[in-house]
Amino acid sequence: QCNVNGTARDLSVTYSVPDTQFFQSAYFFGSFLMQLPGGYLATRFSPRRVCGLSILISSVLMIVLPFPIQYTQNPAPVFIIRFLQGLVEGWSVPAMNGVISAWAPKSEKSRMVTFVYAGAYLSPALAMVLTGVSACWVSWNASLFLYGGLGVIWSFAWVCTIYDTPTLHPGLHRSETDVFSKEGANVSKGSQSVAQRIPWSKILRSLPVWAIIFGSFCRNWIFSMMITQVPQYFKDAFNKDIATIGFTAALPEVLMTIVTISGGVFIDKLIKHNLLSTSHGRKLAQCMGFGIEALCLIGLRFVETSEIALTLLSVGVGFSGLAISGYQVNPLDLAPQYVSILTGLSRLGTLGAILSTLVAGKLHQNNLQSWQNLFTIAGSIHLAGVLFYGIFASGERQPWAEPTETRPLLAPVDSVPEFSRDVLEEDVGDSKFSKSLFQPKRRRSILNDFDEDGNPSWFLNTI
């Protein structure tokens, strides 16, 4: 409940706390299922369109969500909508990383990724405040309509203004595209050829990839707690009302946003000036971020006042923003052309959010001690993440991701086997074979023995 002009307003709904935690699990479970398929879709097709469609569908579902909450007592429709939202949003992050991989110069990867994903950490902070205020002063469902409407507007703005690669952007000057050619990842938009050559077995056997996945698991565990459990923590342990909780729980996320962006710039500078290798830079960011957060979470076990609890949460969650320059940027280092696939794999760490919600539902007893146990578990998991990433992570391009040797599309006639020339001479008649790779005139020319999708073939191409 909350107080408006001295009048108490009851904002509770008919669902119990376990029901609401069940709804959150539905979202994270749906997201978990679609991470890897989302990575494949972003690799095979346009990552820009995949990302835009993901947010559009999820936003429409958000607008629909208040109706079953208000008009039915059955939790099943709410569960289904949250599950569907998780499914479609599972595409968004792999697709987003696919766009970033083509637009991020090598010397600016950390700052670009951290700047983009800072919004993911700032938005819960704003949502906590807006949800509390709008619920008290407008209606319990006002925030759902607001977020859904903003998502629809954003998705159309995204598709209209964003391009898959710099070369497709009509407003870039040639000098600007040259910068991306020299320093960018040079990853083309989704293509069938890249999707067909994914080295699945080598990726799944790669310890640096598993370091990213486990880092994502740890991050999702505590991130789920912050957006779904911490408001309940302040209510149970310190008897805060919903409006106060919104402002209180938002502070750690605001600090995290600041540290995320500044940390990306800091790590990029260390790597650019050769003060650290890429591998050491990623490990420093990850281990500092998760290590400080782990200590603060475990420290919450011994806290009995809201002021100290807020301080520890703010410091821990705030410094965890450094880790975004670790595991979140890492896929761009290991395999630029498969970044959406690696991101999809890493997002299987959403399992951490599912388990976090289920564990919270199991241990939650509406008292301070149960919350102390939950924070201790989260801190211990983060310490394990520090050790695993520190030992097995890498910032170097992996052998299975090295670009394969490419042959020129148009081959000189001298490179064509003799038997093929005989066949071609019969077909072409009096036409002359061009010895130019660029074919300045309209002539019959011969494609090399591999087409652009890597399929062996000898055939004629009319220029």
- Averaged pLDDT, 116-132: 80
Beta strands in 187-253 (DSSP E): none
The helix/strand/coil state of 7 is: strand
173-232 pLDDT, tens per residue? 777 777 776 765 544 544 555 556 789 999 999 999 999 999 999 998 988 887 777 777
pLDDT of 323 > 70? The answer is yes
Phi-psi region of 177 (alpha: psi -120 to 50; beta: other; left: phi over 0): alpha
What is the value of pTM for the model shown?
A: 0.72
Q: How far apart are CA 354 and CA 32, in angstroms?
A: 9
Vertex 279, ends 122 and 46: CA angle to 5°?
55
The helix/strand/coil state of 3 is: strand
**Closest to 344 (Cα-Cα) out of 154, 95, 132:** 95
Specify the pLDDT at position 280. Answer: 96
Vertex 188, ends 95 and 84: CA angle to 5°?
15
Written as one letter, the residue type at 264 is G
349-380 pLDDT, tens per residue? 888 888 888 888 788 767 778 888 899 999 99
Specify the pLDDT at position 337. Answer: 83
Tokens linked to 10? 């009851």
**Closest to 292 (Cα-Cα) out of 206, 383, 424:** 383
What b/e readout covers 115-127, taking b as 16+ CB neighbours within 10 angstroms?
Answer: bbbbebbbebbeb
**Closest to 164 (Cα-Cα) out of 186, 189, 183:** 189
Specify the pLDDT at position 418. Answer: 47
Specify the pLDDT at position 9. Answer: 54
Helices 92-103 and 339-346 meet at what angle, rounded to 10?
Answer: 140
Is the four-CA dihedral 293, 299, 304, 305 of positive or negative sign?
Answer: negative
Phi and psi, residue 446, nearest 5°: -115, 125
Whether residue 137 contacts residue 4, with contact meaning beta carbons closer than 8 Å, is answered with yes
306-318 pLDDT, tens per residue? 889 889 988 998 9
DSSP 437: S
Write out the residue limits of the CATH 1.20.1250.20 domain(s) in the chain: 14-401
The CATH architecture one would assign to domain 14-401 is Up-down Bundle (1.20)
Q: Which helix (H) or strand (E) holds 445?
A: strand 444-447
Specify the pLDDT at position 2. Answer: 57
- Averaged pLDDT, 338-346: 89
